[in-house]
Amino acid sequence: MKQFILSLVLLSTVFTSYSQVDFVPNSSFKVEVGLPNNSSNQAFRDLMQGLVILTPSYQHTFNNSFSIGAGLRYGFFNVNEFKNNVDLSGGMHIAGAFVKIGREKFYGDIGIDYGVRIGYSANFFNTNYNDSLSGKPFSNESIFIEPTFGISLMATERTSFRLALGFAVNDFVFSADQVGIEQFSAYDINDLNKRTSYFTIGFGYSYYFGVK
């Protein structure tokens, strides 16, 4: 994975150094669909499987390639029923919103878009244990920060498709009570105290307004 990311960075450097700017984006509507891969904490990585992250957003890019944007975020992580011995089932829904700052620039038909999303999310742990205990999902709130990187390829004069990468760090710690059980007995306490984070790789679509 490190070699893959390094290749993307080198590719972007090549386009920056040797290509001429043909397309100058202005405002755009973007949609990204990604597959999240848990990176910490240990219990979250073992018990929850990332299925989808959906991110619609609006972005404005200035003449100097600086960009600002805002959007919504939905994600779903399914309980891995093969990684627990307490018959836990269900999943976690993430619903949130974010703002983004970054840069977006095209070199010929190839575009580079990178930045940082800062947002808020409500997290709903809809499991069979929570349903038995309270009749509703356990919920909490969190702030997340997500560096992003994307490479776009123009499809028409106003549309492009993109490879999108992100690494989201949430300020909540995944714990047993969130899924309705007493404890994670198989894990060291140091592995459980880490903030919840996940790496996302996916694809996106952009439609551009007011092309310069």
CB atoms near residue 208 (< 10 Å): 22
pLDDT tens over the chain, length 212 residues: 544 444 444 444 444 444 455 688 889 999 999 999 998 888 898 899 999 999 999 999 998 999 999 999 999 999 998 888 889 999 999 999 999 999 999 998 999 999 999 999 999 999 999 999 999 999 999 999 999 999 999 999 899 999 999 999 999 999 999 999 988 877 777 778 889 999 999 999 999 987 66
Distance CA 177, CA 171 (A): 17
The pLDDT value given to residue 189: 77
Tell if the pTM clears 0.95, that is, is over it.
no
Could you please report the per-residue DSSP string of 28-75?
EEEEEEEEEEEEE-HHHHHHEEEEEEEEEEEEEE-TTSEEEEEEEEEE
